[in-house]
Amino acid sequence: MGSKEFLDAKERALKSLQKALTEDKVDAGVRSLLKILNDMDGVYSTSSCAGRIVLLQIPQLGEKRTATFLGIWHHQITVGDLEAAASSATTGMLWLLAQAPILHVGVQTLERADHLVKTAVSCGFKNSSVKSLGKKITIEICSTERLDAPIGVDGRVFCNKDHLSLLVEIANEVIRRSQRKLLGLERKLRIYIIYQKN
């Protein structure tokens, strides 16, 4: 992608991000990292999630497009939070998910892509990689921690309280690790920016 094309794409992405920020549609836990990325030369963010815990009602296995979100949390939860969300379940399978952060970033050069991927991996985002080399270069920053657990069906939770407590603790650990990794990546990128300016 040429320099002008890249700058135009970055400008569009920043306008879209600003709109999402105004509408409070950007996860608080990733906002400062997005600012750092978007302040860098040759880099812009395209989409992001700071990590989340989700309770999903899925009509049938594999039908995520028709799934209903009963609860979405970008912070640690309690068993009570999970039970309250599950109380609105009707028909279908109930799944508890915990997902690590994921960010998609447009970059101008392969050298910059390589540097960002290596930096992300060094901060624990082991699944980070270059996702696209077509018209534009896109990298994905993501980690390996996740939880996918069926907990009930047709409005009934089959797990006892002890098992639910274990699942909630695992989900919360995914969120805690996610927050630490995001902070670590922020620190490394801040140091890199300072180094580049000197």
What confidence score (pLDDT) does residue 87 get? 95
Q: What is the mean pLDDT of residues 93-113?
A: 95
What confidence score (pLDDT) does residue 150 get? 95
What confidence score (pLDDT) does residue 192 get? 79
Q: Position of tokens 């409005």?
A: 155
| Comparison of pLDDT for 194 and 144, the residue scoring more | 144
The per-residue pLDDT of the chain, averaged, comes to 92
Q: pLDDT by residue (tens digit) across 124-183?
A: 999 999 998 888 899 999 999 999 999 999 999 999 999 999 999 999 999 999 999 999
Assess whether pLDDT exceeds 70 at residue 1: no
pTM, to two decimals: 0.88
Q: What is the DSSP string of the chain?
A: --HHHHHHHHHHHHHHHHHHHHTT-S-GGGHHHHHHHHHSTTEEEEEEE--EEEEEEESSTT-GGG-EEEEEESS---HHHHHHHHTT--SSEEEEEEE--EEEEEES-HHHHHHHHHHHHHTT-TT-EEEEESSSEEEEEE-S-EEEEEEEETTEE-S-HHHHHHHHHHHHHHHHHHHHHHHHHHHHHHHHHHHHH-
Assess whether pLDDT exceeds 80 at residue 2: no
What confidence score (pLDDT) does residue 197 get? 65
What confidence score (pLDDT) does residue 3 get? 84
Q: pLDDT by residue (tens digit) across 77-92?
A: 999 999 999 999 999 9
Q: What tokens were used for 83?
A: 């039970």
Domains of the chain by range and CATH? 3-192 (3.30.1960.10)
What confidence score (pLDDT) does residue 170 get? 98
